[in-house]
Structure 1
Amino acid sequence: MSAADMSSDDDEDVEAAERRMKREMAEMSKKDPDFHKYLQENEGNLLQYGEGEGGGDSGDDGEDANMDAADDDDEAAAAPGKKSRGRDDDDDDEPRDNRPILGVSLLRAMERSAFRGHSAKGLKKVVSAYRSACHLSEEASGDDAGATRAGYRIDDSAVFDRLMLVALRGCHVEFRRHLLGEETKKGGKGDKDDDADVTAPEIDENKPVNPKLLQRSGKWDELRTYLQLFLRSSLHLLSEAKEPALLSFVLKSLSPYVPLLTPFPKLAKSFLQTLSKLWSAPLDTSEEYQVVRLRSFLRVRQLAVTQPFPFVEDCLKSSYLCYARRAKFGTAASVHSALPTLTFMGNCVVELYSLDYASSYRHAFVYIRQLALHLRTALQRRTPESLRVVYCWQYVHCLRLWAAVLSAACASATRGGDGGGGGDEAKLMKSLVYPLTEVILGTARLVPTARHLPLRLHCVRMLQQLASSSESFIPAASLLLEALDLREFRTRPKKVRAGKSDAAGTALRLPVVLKLPRDTALRTSEQVDACLAEMFVLLNREADLYRYSPAFPELSVRIVQRLRHFSKEVQGGKDGG
């Protein structure tokens, strides 16, 4: 049987079911006029069964509507008006859900119509059912609007799972077919087995779709509302869903739909806000949610690549602000929870800022300048509040992030501009290395005390990272040599009791420490040994960075002389290691 004959038979079945339903409604108006009047006043959409679902179906009666009629159970469920009125008067005020129930057979009919018969009317019905599935949380919470919304009622979890699967995997194929004229590349199994998953065509999901191509389509006026409805329903589902497995599946399935957001810039911004919240969510640090975090970032990156300029700047701004807010929780107390997540988010921001260096330069300039203004305020006022703004984990994490961003840009400029808009734009980002270096040096020297020695070591690591990537000389060794002048290194350490060993820093981990305890800063042998060992490692790395430089003899001589003098000061290195 040809596809045209199949579509014609299905149209006749659907029209017969609609005519039968209208006859039943007419008979009910004669047998029970009171209830019919109630429906006209409160549930008028039920008396218009089959006359356009979700708005816009009336114009599809002449098109191919490859949808088989549902079985007797689904037809009975689709006729809520036939239920008896044997209720108490107290129940008349309660809202009733009179939408048709979506059963297995009706869902299969929708699948055949939309994905095998390529019917626009069938696609609209699938989108309408998908919208109902995305708003199930409102119905469960007793929302009256959710009960009276046009669409379907879904009572079976298996139907819900099947609907989400076929809608998310197949609707983008039909939207592209109807609006862009792209043919579907299906396997043989998908043409023979009704229960087989819809196979999507191989498309470049990172390729932008020109909105003018969509708007010039002959079916744009007809399907525009349904495409927007599908995207809004998906956005609502992402906002309301709590299960990591469901969020992960939806985020992965939305990949082919992101290029279709180009005609809806406001909706794209709403997607960016929701995806950024999922990406930076601070509440859930479980392993399952890390998959959600990763796929949220992949969709944000896809938005930055596919949406028209200047949407990429919105992505850059949103990602950095989310990282800065999340950086408040990246402390030593959360080393096993927040710090791994923050490291992952930092790598994501570096990836985003490597997409378009022209846009990244403008944002990096503004945010590095903002850090410099905070530092200038601390230098001028010297108040506890102004110093606390600089000497905190959030400020240090932001400095570390920009060091990583500029290091990636310098590496790209060295390679000749792989990605990011070209080598010239990467060199433009490289010009920000100098102001960032000045900010880091100022931060390290802001309060040169023994208590803040770990922060100075953090700054030295950042400077060495910038020096290595930019292939320029940055005097980080001076910060380490200046630290050797602290008088705490030349005094005898205190003996710590066994009960206070933990508080005194027996297991001191400098990479996750910002400052030492106020009363015992560099006063225990454990702290002194840990700090000196880290300083010698950084000095060794400093010498390794410039070992091929013509100025290496002058640099190394200064370091060797200072270390010899320090060794004599601490009695031949006995106490200082």
Structure 2
Amino acid sequence: MGKTSKQTKKFQNKHLKHTIEHRKKAQDFKKKAAMRKKGGGAKEEPQVEAVKDDTKNFGEMSVDDFFAGGFEIPKGMEKSKKKLEDSDDDASSSDESSEDEEDMKKNLENLEKQDPEFYKYLKENDNQLLDFEGVNPLEAMSEDEEEEEDEEEEVVDEDDDKEVTNKGGADKDATKSGNKVEITTKLVEKWGTQLEKPTAKVIRNIVSAFKAAVNINSGEDYKYSVVDPKAFTELMLLVLKKVPIAVQSVVKYKTKQGVRTIPQNAQATQIGSILKNHASSYITLLKDITNTETAAIILASLYEVFPYYLSHRRLLKQIITAVANVWASSNDTDTQIASFAFINNVVREYPKSILETVLKISYSTLLQHCRKTNAHTISRINFCKNSLAELFSVDEKIGYQIGFEYVRQLAIHLRNSVNGKGGFVTIYNWQYCHSLDFWSRVLTICKEESSLRQLIYPLVQVSLGAIRLNPTAQFFPLRFYLIRSLLRLSNTGVYIPLFPLLYEVLSSTAITKSPKPSTLQIVDFEHNIKVNQAYLGTKIYQDGLCEQFIELTSEFFGLFAKSIAFPELITPAVLGLKRFTKKSKNVKFNKQLSQLIEKLNANAQLISSKRSNVEFGPSDKREVKEFLNNLNWEKTPLGQYIVVQRQQKEERLRLFKEAQEEEEKAKEEKKRKEEKEEEEEDEELAHLEDDEDASENEDMSD
């Protein structure tokens, strides 16, 4: 059986039942008229009743039963059946039914004289039968009905087109070139006036025009066209600011406990269809955002109509993905804040509906946009990690499920690398490192009783495994980066043995071997996880490693500066550092290590003096935890040392950034000069060619 045509489906849904009833009445009337002409014999009366009963059953059939077949067509209905079948082909219906139409007209003309009582009944109850004309039902279907049935196609109202174009020329707000309606400022003003008392029809036309304007460079054929930039700007402001207000005036939201829902009625369905078509315009605009002001207007408009997209899961994912791309890719902090505010607001309003979708899309989008990490992009990436980490606390159960899935993926990648599948390249890249760092932020800000805390142990194991995967000097920056993540995670109260990882750096040849002089630039450990081979064995790299060791070692022990067990914690470290200083020939580094050892011992003496007066033992965990709670860690000997170290680091970073900016400016200036010199050379060549042409012309004239 061939595929049912679109027209046939529409006929089945809208006109089949009416046509069957119509023809049933006509057939009954014909039978009655024929019997009355014969005088109404007794033998034929039962047959008439049988036909009536069969026709009644046939008329009460559902559409599905009718097309399923397997029933007996009553006598006298063969011609009606033939007409219905021929309506699918829409070719010979009028020819085959012309005979019936003439009979019907003659009978209707004589009905009032022959049976005035029956004629009166028909006039009162079914006046359409008296005005019967043979019409093909498919031809009678209006264009508006076809447009309303298909939500996926672009919805355009033909009646409004007539108002806009006005064939008589009365409406001058729009011009018609070919088959397209040109959008003008007057037309936009007219639409703005109509939105004061909006209807679904007006909103539909405005949305269709805006879709054509937004996709002007797509190459697709739309009914509307826009040439005037001012008209486009006014249309965009009209759609983004006034259309959401108009939508809510046509269909008001039901708000309960701060959650907006859409009422279930015909108007809401119609508006929903229009806004579904409008979603592609929002997505296109989000891809082309250039400034914060535009982003704020688009996102505010989208938020107002967001409830209409909740039931369309595929469309919802596309919208969230578009917003997440703005959030993860924009280098403008204000634009990032505006996009995250939108994500945060919709998640807080509909946590059960979209939270899981938002978290997964945002996480994958973040990883897509962090492949390239440098001094210019790190602030954007850190903002994304910190803001997304906040969303995982909205629903800790969903957050734990997603976190468990992604941490497990990281562990599988690490296991495959250890087993020789793919090598360490799959681990030693920015995406993997940012993933580990992101989850450390999530677990650091979650509550102490949160189920997310169960992920701390597997995350620490994966991070330690990644650090030890390739313990070469070239990847020491990656080691330092992951150690910082673990230091952050240590703030949860979990002890992570990080000093052995740091001490391994001291035993590497990059520290113990005499360095060679170099004129290379200072290593940027903040924005790199790998150094070039040229840095290995150089003094500039060795000095950088020494600074990183001092900083991270002091930060690690600073976490426990008020711990009652601090003296015992630093004992192995102090012995190892003293042993190293005796062997090392790096005078500057030895001096830094001696200062660190001194601060560690001073802090240990403070803790020992404070705990000598306590009356509780190590088994009293509550008292141990509250030990020196009233003392600020910055006032401890080690804390004061760390504060000074941080200030010095900030100063170094500031100088480093200034040097980078000056270097970039110098490169840009050099590039401009080269371009200018090339232009001047091109102009000189052009002048020489002109002179040569002129001289040739003179010679020819002579």
Q: TM-score range by the shorter chain?
A: 0.5 to 0.7
State how far apart, in whole Å, the 2-side matches of 1:471 and 1:160 are. 57
State how far apart, in whole Å, the 2-side matches of 1:557 and 1:448 are. 25
State how far apart, in whole Å, the 2-side matches of 1:73 and 1:250 are. 36
Residue 546 of structure 2 contacts residue 589 of structure 2 at CA under 8 Å; is this kept in 1? no
Residues 373-392 of structure 1, C-alpha deviations (whole Å, 9 max, x = no match):
122222232x7x41111122
Question: Is 2:622 aligned against 1:526?
Answer: no
State how far apart, in whole Å, the 2-side matches of 1:231 and 1:58 are. 22
- Aligned mate of 2:401, from 362, 371, 377: 362
Question: Which AA in structure 1 matches 2:212?
Answer: H
- Aligned mate of 1:517, from 532, 553, 574: 532
Count of residue pairs brought into register by the alignment: 441
Residues 159-203 of structure 1, C-alpha deviations (whole Å, 9 max, x = no match):
332222232222222322332268xxxxxxxxxxxxxxxxxxxx9
Equivalent in the alignment of 1:158:
230
Instruction: Assess, with a 3 A threshold, how the Cα gap between structure 1 residues 159 and 515 changes in structure 2: closer, same or farther.
Output: closer
State how far apart, in whole Å, the 2-side matches of 1:226 and 1:548 are. 63
Residue 361 of structure 1 contacts residue 429 of structure 1 at CA under 8 Å; is this kept in 2? yes
What is the DSSP-based 3-state SS (H/G/I as helix, E as strand, rest coil) of the residue aligned with 1:209?
strand
Question: Is 2:240 aligned against 1:168?
Answer: yes
Equivalent in the alignment of 1:453:
476
Instruction: Assess, with a 3 A threshold, how the Cα gap between structure 1 residues 173 and 554 changes in structure 2: closer, same or farther.
Output: same
Question: Is 2:454 aligned against 1:431?
Answer: yes
Question: Which AA in structure 1 matches 2:523?
Answer: L
- Aligned mate of 1:180, from 240, 247, 252: 252
Question: Which AA in structure 2 matches 1:112?
Answer: T
Equivalent in the alignment of 1:19:
none
Q: How far apart are residue 568 of structure 1 and its match?
A: 0.4
Question: Which AA in structure 1 matches 2:338?
Answer: R
Residue 280 of structure 1 contacts residue 293 of structure 1 at CA under 8 Å; is this kept in 2? yes
State how far apart, in whole Å, the 2-side matches of 1:376 and 1:575 are. 37
Equivalent in the alignment of 1:399:
436
Instruction: Assess, with a 3 A threshold, how the Cα gap between structure 1 residues 484 and 256 changes in structure 2: closer, same or farther.
Output: same
State how far apart, in whole Å, the 2-side matches of 1:178 and 1:372 are. 53
Question: Which AA in structure 2 matches 1:535?
Answer: F
Q: How far apart are residue 457 of structure 1 and its match?
A: 1.6
Question: Which AA in structure 1 matches 2:547?
Answer: A
Question: Which AA in structure 1 matches 2:454?
Answer: S
Equivalent in the alignment of 2:369:
326
Q: How far apart are residue 286 of structure 1 and its match?
A: 5.7
State how far apart, in whole Å, the 2-side matches of 1:342 and 1:433 are. 22
Question: Which AA in structure 2 matches 1:162?
Answer: E
Equivalent in the alignment of 1:472:
494
Question: Map of 1:179-258 to 2, 5 A cutoff?
Answer: 179-180=251-252, 207-210=258-261, 213-215=262-264, 217=265, 219-239=267-287, 241=288, 243-244=290-291, 246-247=294-295, 249-258=297-306
- Higher relative CO (Cα under 8 Å, sequence separation at least 6) belongs to 1
Instruction: Assess, with a 3 A threshold, how the Cα gap between structure 1 residues 236 and 576 changes in structure 2: closer, same or farther.
Output: same
Question: Is 2:418 aligned against 1:379?
Answer: yes
Question: Which AA in structure 2 matches 1:564?
Answer: K
Q: How far apart are residue 131 of structure 1 and its match?
A: 2.4
State how far apart, in whole Å, the 1-side matches of 2:444 and 2:425 are. 27
Residues 81-122 of structure 1, C-alpha deviations (whole Å, 9 max, x = no match):
xxxxxxxxxxxxxxx54344444444334333322x3x425x
Question: Which AA in structure 2 matches 1:171?
Answer: V
- Aligned mate of 2:515, from 493, 509, 515: 493
Q: How far apart are residue 218 of structure 1 and its match?
A: 5.8
Question: Is 2:532 aligned against 1:483?
Answer: no
Q: How far apart are residue 432 of structure 1 and its match?
A: 0.8
Q: How far apart are residue 434 of structure 1 and its match?
A: 1.0
Q: How far apart are residue 404 of structure 1 and its match?
A: 1.1
Residues 208-245 of structure 1, C-alpha deviations (whole Å, 9 max, x = no match):
323xx421x46324433233333344334445x46546
Instruction: Assess, with a 3 A threshold, how the Cα gap between structure 1 residues 261 and 361 changes in structure 2: closer, same or farther.
Output: same
What is the DSSP-based 3-state SS (H/G/I as helix, E as strand, rest coil) of the residue aligned with 1:351?
helix
Residue 403 of structure 1 contacts residue 462 of structure 1 at CA under 8 Å; is this kept in 2? yes
Equivalent in the alignment of 1:185:
none
Residue 251 of structure 1 contacts residue 299 of structure 1 at CA under 8 Å; is this kept in 2? yes
Tell me, which stretches of 5 or more residues in structure 1 are unaligned? 1-43, 61-66, 81-95, 183-202, 415-423
Equivalent in the alignment of 2:671:
none
Residue 164 of structure 2 contacts residue 171 of structure 2 at CA under 8 Å; is this kept in 1? no
Tell me, which stretches of 5 or more residues in structure 2 are unaligned? 1-138, 149-153, 592-702
Question: Which AA in structure 1 matches 2:268?
Answer: W
TM-score (norm 2): 0.56
State how far apart, in whole Å, the 1-side matches of 2:462 and 2:147 are. 64
Instruction: Assess, with a 3 A threshold, how the Cα gap between structure 1 residues 565 and 227 changes in structure 2: closer, same or farther.
Output: same
Q: How far apart are residue 436 of structure 1 and its match?
A: 0.7
Residues 114-172 of structure 1, C-alpha deviations (whole Å, 9 max, x = no match):
22x3x425xx31441232123225445653x21xx3xx444433333222223222222
Instruction: Assess, with a 3 A threshold, how the Cα gap between structure 1 residues 303 and 265 changes in structure 2: closer, same or farther.
Output: farther
Question: Which AA in structure 2 matches 1:214?
Answer: P
Equivalent in the alignment of 2:35:
none
Equivalent in the alignment of 2:193:
112
Equivalent in the alignment of 2:390:
351
Residues 56-92 of structure 1, C-alpha deviations (whole Å, 9 max, x = no match):
97999xxxxxx9999x987146585xxxxxxxxxxxx
State how far apart, in whole Å, the 1-side matches of 2:485 and 2:510 are. 25
Instruction: Assess, with a 3 A threshold, how the Cα gap between structure 1 residues 568 and 340 changes in structure 2: closer, same or farther.
Output: same
Q: How far apart are residue 317 of structure 1 and its match?
A: 1.1
Residue 275 of structure 1 contacts residue 296 of structure 1 at CA under 8 Å; is this kept in 2? yes
Equivalent in the alignment of 1:191:
none
- Aligned mate of 2:209, from 132, 136, 140: 132
Q: How far apart are residue 55 of structure 1 and its match?
A: 6.4
Equivalent in the alignment of 2:640:
none
Equivalent in the alignment of 2:575:
561
Identical-residue share of aligned pairs (%):
24
Equivalent in the alignment of 1:266:
314
Equivalent in the alignment of 1:540:
554
State how far apart, in whole Å, the 1-side matches of 2:408 and 2:559 are. 28
State how far apart, in whole Å, the 2-side matches of 1:276 and 1:181 are. 26
Instruction: Assess, with a 3 A threshold, how the Cα gap between structure 1 residues 106 and 526 changes in structure 2: closer, same or farther.
Output: closer
Deviates more, 1:158-167 or 1:548-557: 158-167
Question: Which AA in structure 2 matches 1:407?
Answer: T
Residue 174 of structure 2 contacts residue 187 of structure 2 at CA under 8 Å; is this kept in 1? no
Residues 231-267 of structure 1, C-alpha deviations (whole Å, 9 max, x = no match):
344334445x465465553234323222342343332
Instruction: Assess, with a 3 A threshold, how the Cα gap between structure 1 residues 546 and 140 changes in structure 2: closer, same or farther.
Output: closer
Residues 476-527 of structure 1, C-alpha deviations (whole Å, 9 max, x = no match):
122112322224423322233xxxx11xxx4122222323333652x22222
Residues 529-551 of structure 1, C-alpha deviations (whole Å, 9 max, x = no match):
22112111111112211122222
TM-score (norm 1): 0.67
Residue 68 of structure 1 contacts residue 113 of structure 1 at CA under 8 Å; is this kept in 2? no
* Larger gyration radius, structure 1 or structure 2: 2
State how far apart, in whole Å, the 1-side matches of 2:156 and 2:218 are. 30
What is the DSSP-based 3-state SS (H/G/I as helix, E as strand, rest coil) of the residue aligned with 1:214?
coil
Residue 529 of structure 1 contacts residue 576 of structure 1 at CA under 8 Å; is this kept in 2? no
State how far apart, in whole Å, the 2-side matches of 1:286 and 1:463 are. 27
State how far apart, in whole Å, the 1-side matches of 2:356 and 2:445 are. 18
Equivalent in the alignment of 2:171:
75
Question: Which AA in structure 2 matches 1:345?
Answer: C
Equivalent in the alignment of 1:200:
none
Residue 400 of structure 2 contacts residue 451 of structure 2 at CA under 8 Å; is this kept in 1? yes
